[in-house]
Amino acid sequence: MAERAERVEQEEIFSQVLRAGRRTYFFDVRATKADDYYLTVTESKKFTHDDGSFHYQKHKIYLYKEDFTDFKEMLGKATDYILNEKGSEVISERHQKDFKKEEETATESNTKTTESFTDVSFDDI
């Protein structure tokens, strides 16, 4: 068991964490059996159940040194394309704000409608 613990400690060389809302990204440099390095990128997303319990869903990619140059180039091209086409504004946040405004407007509208009703008693009939 101690041998296993040493092996895990040797594998994790360097680590960084990016917290982004419900998602967390882990960038971990690990060692192969031949003592070469590679990168794992893990996306961990938290899901909360109705009863308050939760679980994490994880996705992981492994990136090896021989692919770093091409990966960086393609990642750069893809992210540049997105920013050039859509800008840096997070559209989902804008939609959430618009949705909240629509809800508020609908609530105000319903309140006004209910306020315009006349209170009628059965004695008046």
pLDDT tens column, 69-111? 999 999 999 999 999 999 988 877 766 665 566 666 655 555 5
Q: Are 31 and 11 in contact (CB under 8 A)?
A: yes
- Inform me whether the pLDDT recorded for 4 exceeds 80: no
What average pLDDT does range 1-7 have in this prediction? 50
> Which whole-number Å values give the CA distances from 21 to 15, 63, 107, 125, in the listed order?
19, 25, 28, 58
- Inform me whether the pLDDT recorded for 6 exceeds 60: no
Distance, in Å, from the CA atom of 108 to the CA atom of 45, rounded to the nearest integer, reads: 36
Domain ranges of the chain: 2-115
| CATH T-level fold of 2-115 | Nuclear Transport Factor 2; Chain: A, (3.10.450)
Distance, in Å, from the CA atom of 102 to the CA atom of 57, rounded to the nearest integer, reads: 32
- Inform me whether the pLDDT recorded for 113 exceeds 80: no
Going by the DSSP 8-state scheme, the letter that residue 49 receives in this structure is -
Q: How much is the mean pLDDT over the chain?
A: 80
What average pLDDT does range 33-41 have in this prediction? 93
Report residue 49: phi and psi, to 5°: -85, 165
Planar angle of CA 20, 21, 22, nearest 5 degrees:
110
- Please indicate whether residue 108 or residue 45 has the higher confidence score (pLDDT): 45
